[in-house]
């Protein structure tokens, strides 16, 4: 346990860090930090996920309150704003156990207004907040090459530099305004959604034209139509591998949030609106439990 004399001044080097929510991305970050000797505390509502990370050097406290007490920086890596509020301020939330000077890093892709509101509530407790959405998938989180979009006060960022650098070789300093990380992530994910819908559409068309999908994707990958997400997801879709690395629900959520942001500033987003509708329709068609690569089969055989 951290004693009263253990303050945030020690954050220039390895610090006591906790991760709440250790699914695909949170678990990969825990493995990354464990491999570097950070011994992160981890907690998940599915306790087996936490326990499974002990072999990678993580510690698994019995309760989320214990994690909050034993750490200085706490990474929240759940799915959405509702889960984030529950982790922080719910009946079993960590807010009563937080101390002035601790830092909460918000990693979920949520609405900028939700980020701002959570930051205000935490700041009333003397707790600092960084808005740190991530991109790149579990493999890149595990090897430290994912992207982090960091927004928040410069002094807080400086205290967490060692942690951020341990997590990622691609740390983008966005601004000092909490919420701008979320805005940047939603802009990125809207383009990812547009690109993925486009890739699925053209490969479905290629098949209808009698073309070999794999060979067509080879051409696209080396030509002007290439996008990283299109190549990554369509390779898996062609192989019939729809085990979820990124559930269909995630880009459905994110493209919807991005459209909300566009409307909030009176911006017309025609391609984004189409992509958002396609993801929503895919969920309606029962594909929510699959990887978003399943868009290929959805575009090839849309419901009538």
- How would you classify residue 137: left for phi > 0, otherwise alpha for psi between -120 and 50, otherwise beta? left
| Whether the Cβ atoms of residue 236 and residue 294 lie closer than 8 Å to each other | no
Residue closest to 111 by CA, chosen among 90, 82, 134: 82
Strand ranges (E), 138-239: 147-151, 170-175
| Whether the Cβ atoms of residue 179 and residue 153 lie closer than 8 Å to each other | no
Token code pair at residue 300: 């090839």
d(CA 219, CA 225): 9
Q: Which of 41, 183, 185, 236 is catalytic?
A: 185
| Whether the Cβ atoms of residue 94 and residue 73 lie closer than 8 Å to each other | no
Q: Which long-range contacts (CB under 8 A, 24 or more apart) does 298-303 make?
A: 298/200, 299/197, 299/200, 299/201, 299/203, 299/204, 300/204, 300/207, 300/208
49 is known as an active-site residue = no
Write the CA distances from 123 to 6, 44, 98, 118, 210, integer angstroms. 20, 24, 11, 9, 59
d(CA 4, CA 219): 61
124: CB partners within 8 A, 6+ apart? none
Catalytic site positions: 185
């Amino acid at each position: 346990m951290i004693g009263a004399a253990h303050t945030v001044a020690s954050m220039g080097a390895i610090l006591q860090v906790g991760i709440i929510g250790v699914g695909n991305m949170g678990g990969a970050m825990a493995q990354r930090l464990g491999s570097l000797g950070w011994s992160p505390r981890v907690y998940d509502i599915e306790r087996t996920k936490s326990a499974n990370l002990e072999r990678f050097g993580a510690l698994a406290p019995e309760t989320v309150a214990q994690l909050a007490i034993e750490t200085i920086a706490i990474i929240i890596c759940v799915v959405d704003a509702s889960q984030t509020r529950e982790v922080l301020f719910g009946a079993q939330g960590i807010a009563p156990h937080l101390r002035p000077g601790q830092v909460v890093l918000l990693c979920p892709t949520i609405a900028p207004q939700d980020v701002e509101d959570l930051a205000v509530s935490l700041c009333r407790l003397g707790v600092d907040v960084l808005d740190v959405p991530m991109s790149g998938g579990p493999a890149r989180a595990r090897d430290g090459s994912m992207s982090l979009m960091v927004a928040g006060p410069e002094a807080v960022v400086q205290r967490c530099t060692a942690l951020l650098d341990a997590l990622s070789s691609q740390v983008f300093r966005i601004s000092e305004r909490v919420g701008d990380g979320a805005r940047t992530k939603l802009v990125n994910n809207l383009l990812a959604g547009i690109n993925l819908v486009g890739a699925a559409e053209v490969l479905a068309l290629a098949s209808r034209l009698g073309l070999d999908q794999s060979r067509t994707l080879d051409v696209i990958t080396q030509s002007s139509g290439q996008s990283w997400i299109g190549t990554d997801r369509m390779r898996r879709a062609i192989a019939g591998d729809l085990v979820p690395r990124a559930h269909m629900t995630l880009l459905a959520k994110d493209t919807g949030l991005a459209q909300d942001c566009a409307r909030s500033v009176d911006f017309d987003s025609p391609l984004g609106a189409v992509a958002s509708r396609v993801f929503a329709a895919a969920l309606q068609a029962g594909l929510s439990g699959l990887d978003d690569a399943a868009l290929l089969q959805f575009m090839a055989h849309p419901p009538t």
